[in-house]
Amino acid sequence: MDNFVLATFLQGHQAQPVKGVLLAKNFEQFAGSGTFHRGIHPPERKHFSADAPIEVIPTPKEVIIPLQQHIGAPSKPLVKPKQEVSYGEIIGDNAAFVSAKLHSPIFGVVQKMAVTTLPNGRHVQAIRIKAQGRQFTEEENYRECMGGRWSKNVIGYDPDEVTRAINDAGIVGLGGAAFPTHIKIAPGKKPVGTLLVNGCECEPYLTADDRLMQDIPDAIITGAMLAGFAANVKDIIIGIEENKPDAIEKIKNAVKGTEVKVAVLTTKYPQGSEKHLIKAALNRTVPLGGLPSDVGVAVSNVTTMVAIARAVIRKMPLTHRVVCVTGAGIVQPKNILAPFGITYRELINFCGGLTKDEARILSGGPMMGFSFSDLDMPLTKGTGGVTVLTHDDIKKEKETTCVRCGRCVDVCPMNLVPARIAVAARHRDLNMAEKYKIRACMECGSCAYVCPAGLPLVQNIRVAKALIMASKTN
């Protein structure tokens, strides 16, 4: 997240720290209360794109496929310049344990390798492919592109076969983490009894998950059943914030006749963080520095469930995703089915372009997204949204000194002391920052949201975390 954006867009919204625990409706059957301690209520601003049906964007003339779109080892190219490739053909792979395969999202011809920059500032090698011939998404509506109708019948599949299909399709967590899914769901040393499917989409503005839940709920349930089967879990629960009533209704209808349960959760940021989702739904606390598997849970996003259903049942690799292009700085906000490697410029142009008062473009939402200016960067697997803010949205308030109000502590969902971590980070006192558990910070931005002094808390924390990482690898 660009702290300038956070410190400007989000300040002045009369931030109200949330204290205590609220009881979500219809939550009797779950161990959790439907919410978690601390957190904030930023303005939702979903209205820009919430009612926009998913549209298929025309195939671009060229795609740029970064070799590193996931957590783990970057893929190695398996194709050479001038080579013809088909839609869905594997073009990158790595034998490392943690990595993910890459597939061509179009029919075309491979061009010279390139270096591209991602919105988080990383420079990565990329495979360029020039489109050629009739394309997969032409003359199809998005339902066919997403795999057509779904029967929710997963009988006859072998768990290993499901895990293998997920690996072969190059599926990673599409909620943003981009961790390879076949590793996450494969039964490991720690027994996992519950698959928690994340339909919270708590980041302001973004609506891609909401639209998928409304439009193809059967694909989500089918994917969840397959993933639960592969992970050998007893329970599958889909957690959705209560500010998505249409999605809740569609998902509740879709789970009828299955053992999948729906947990309606209190709307609060960052409810979509896996640790807070686990707390809200199951009343289990992931230890500091721990993983969901430490408390017997695997968490995965609704969009990832669609990708799993497509991969296992339709043999379709992960080549496209639904991305929400939204905000007051976009002429016509939309939810778009787009191929990986398409540029942000093409996505924005498909939405009628930028408005005259556009001021800041973010990959993701305003809380955790990255601000960038090069519109020719490619869309990658982990990006579910593009938010464009206007000058009105980001009126900057003056930065002053810390007034020791303690608001940042009141809202930090990780129970940290953000003011102290940020001071240590600003002075590059990495030992002190570690002492205050900087690594537990999930960079949610809640502290900066409420800080009346306009301090770049998350920006400082992020820089110090990068320095700590660099010091460990040197």
Which residues contact ligand SF4 (rule: CB under 6 A)? 402-408, 412, 414, 416, 418-419, 441-447, 450-453, 455, 457-458, 461
Q: Which is nearer to ligand SF4, 164 or 420 (CB)?
A: 420
Q: CA-to-CA distance for 1 and 364, rounded, in angstroms?
A: 9
CB of 196 to ligand SF4, least distance (A): 20
Q: Which tokens hold the place of 320?
A: 């496209």
Q: Which is nearer to ligand SF4, 312 or 441 (CB)?
A: 441
CB of 91 to ligand SF4, least distance (A): 36
Q: Which is nearer to ligand SF4, 20 or 156 (CB)?
A: 20
Q: CA-to-CA distance for 94 and 174, rounded, in angstroms?
A: 20
CB of 451 to ligand SF4, least distance (A): 3
Q: Which is nearer to ligand SF4, 61 or 428 (CB)?
A: 428
Q: Which is nearer to ligand SF4, 32 or 456 (CB)?
A: 456
CB of 472 to ligand SF4, least distance (A): 20
CB of 453 to ligand SF4, least distance (A): 4
Helix (H) and strand (E) counts in the chain: 15, 18
Helix (H) or strand (E) holding 8: helix 3-9
Q: CA-to-CA distance for 325 and 335, rounded, in angstroms?
A: 6
CB of 243 to ligand SF4, least distance (A): 21
Q: Which is nearer to ligand SF4, 392 or 397 (CB)?
A: 397
Q: Which of 303, 302, 172 is nearest to 240 (CA)?
A: 302
**Do β-strands 194-199 and 235-241 pair in parallel, antiparallel, or remain unpaired?**
parallel
Residues 6 or more apart whose CB falls under 8 angstroms from that of 354 comprise 329, 330, 331, 348, 361, 388
CB of 46 to ligand SF4, least distance (A): 21
Q: CA-to-CA distance for 312 and 417, rounded, in angstroms?
A: 45
CB of 269 to ligand SF4, least distance (A): 10
CB of 178 to ligand SF4, least distance (A): 20
Q: Which of 395, 324, 325, 376 is nearest to 355 (CA)?
A: 325
CB of 240 to ligand SF4, least distance (A): 23
Residues 6 or more apart whose CB falls under 8 angstroms from that of 66 comprise 116, 118, 124, 125, 126, 341, 378, 380
Q: Which is nearer to ligand SF4, 15 or 260 (CB)?
A: 15
- CA angle 200-376-355, nearest 5°? 70
CB of 299 to ligand SF4, least distance (A): 17
Q: Which is nearer to ligand SF4, 250 or 407 (CB)?
A: 407
Q: Verify cis geometry, omega within 30 degrees of 0, for the bond prior to 270.
A: yes
Q: Which is nearer to ligand SF4, 152 or 462 (CB)?
A: 462
Q: Which is nearer to ligand SF4, 312 or 412 (CB)?
A: 412
Q: Which of 105, 91, 10, 87 is nearest to 323 (CA)?
A: 105
Beta strands in 36-148 (DSSP E): 54-56, 62-66, 76-77, 84-85, 90-93, 102-103, 108-110, 114-117, 123-131
Q: Which of 284, 367, 435, 414 is nearest to 1 (CA)?
A: 367
Q: CA-to-CA distance for 312 and 261, rounded, in angstroms?
A: 22
Q: Which of 435, 446, 369, 359 is nearest to 394 (CA)?
A: 359
The total number of residues shown for the chain amounts to 474
First-last CA distance in the chain: 25
Q: Which is nearer to ligand SF4, 107 or 269 (CB)?
A: 269
